[in-house]
Amino acid sequence: MPIVVDIDVMMARRKMSVGELAERVGITPANLAVLKNGRAKAVRFSTLAALCEVLDCQPGDLLRWEADDPAESEAAAVLP
The per-residue pLDDT for range 17-68, each reduced to its tens digit, is 999 999 999 999 999 999 999 999 999 999 999 999 999 999 999 999 998 8
Is residue 51 within 8 Å of 25, Cβ to Cβ? Answer: yes
Q: Give the sign of the dihedral formed by CA 67, CA 69, CA 71, CA 74.
A: positive
Comparing 2 with 46, the larger pLDDT belongs to 46
Could you give the CA distance from residue 6 to residue 3 in angstroms, rounded to a whole number? 10
pLDDT of residue 41: 93
Comparing 73 with 18, the larger pLDDT belongs to 18
Closest CA to 36 of 46, 45, 53, 19: 19
Burial class (CB within 10 angstroms; exposed 0-12, middle 13-18, buried 19+) of 52: middle
